[in-house]
Structure 1
């Protein structure tokens, strides 16, 4: 587990939803799946996994809206500004975790992406030139 000594604070675009995270789990990936591309309106998303006990809502959690996909994953966003905030898969529910978009953090300490995942559906116009491992799926089948 990645231990951080500082509290990580985040919010949605309009600031109505605010939260803090005390500690992240170790795997932090850039996800290139089509669902993340469409949810974030970007070439990929970057999520950090957090045990629910380390996530605290400071304000506005009642403003979260949820989209349940056909694969039973749930994506949560601010109903006021539309900011993409959370992802939760069946695995997350079983493990008591949730994944939070790193771009939603205003302060972020000691958290760095460690891989590109689902590169099989990477945007064709994007070239990945960093040294992070690249996987076709979820950390399997290297590109």
Structure 2
């Protein structure tokens, strides 16, 4: 089988609907879309069999080896070519996931690409969660030696026992700000209920802080620079 394509797709993405999973035999079908007129079958056309999936879509596969080749929209002539059949690496990379609401329950999508619960025209865009942050702000009443010891112990316990991935604090003009990073809500709840942590919270209310606030935010994008 020899198929020639231009090295430019209108889009490349992964579909997780049940039909694509069954047709590809995998967790999803990753394909590149282009006008069917731009695709040329150089050799092996006699080995291509077509299955009419619906009034508007047909699926092509090789009846010699069984490989899934492409799907074709009969009304528009658009083709979605399965990237797995290509010998050469395309210049573009997959840019999104669609029908994630139908994905296999055991599949984990972790590449951070935009995810649509339904089709590409859907407005329901999911974001891959990068974890959570807890932002603690307090107006300081007084500080003493015990405060420093307690704060250091709580930071160490949060990281070593409960899986906190980062804990940073600063204080300016009598206001303390602490930001802690957590992988999931369950871990955060476990830390909140920790006995030593609850004792430290009580001491903070009674001795060290005039007032305080706690904010929780979900991280959906993370960028770093060296």
TM-score normalised to structure 2 length: 0.52
What's the counterpart of residue 116 of structure 1? Answer: 97
Q: Which has the higher contact order (CA 8 A, sep 6+)?
A: 1
Asked whether 1:81 is paired with 2:65, we answer yes
| In 2, Cα distance between equivalents of 1:45 and 1:70 | 18
What's the counterpart of residue 142 of structure 1? Answer: 125
| In 2, Cα distance between equivalents of 1:88 and 1:53 | 11
Q: Contact (CA 8 Å) 1:23, 1:54: kept in 2 or not?
A: no
| Deviation of the 1:61 alpha carbon | 1.2
Local SS of the residue matching 2:23: helix
Length, aligned pairs only: 124
| Deviation of the 1:57 alpha carbon | 1.1
Runs of 4+ in 1 over 6 A off after TM superposition: none
Q: 1:97 aligns with which of 41, 54, 78?
A: 78
| In 2, Cα distance between equivalents of 1:129 and 1:117 | 14
| Deviation of the 1:26 alpha carbon | 2.6
Which residues of structure 2 form unaligned runs of 5+?
A: 127-226
| In 2, Cα distance between equivalents of 1:55 and 1:142 | 31
| In 2, Cα distance between equivalents of 1:35 and 1:126 | 16
Q: 1:43 aligns with which of 5, 23, 27?
A: 27
What's the counterpart of residue 69 of structure 1? Answer: 53
Which residues of structure 1 form unaligned runs of 5+?
A: 1-16
Root-mean-square deviation (CA, aligned residues, Å) is 1.5
| In 1, Cα distance between equivalents of 2:85 and 2:57 | 20
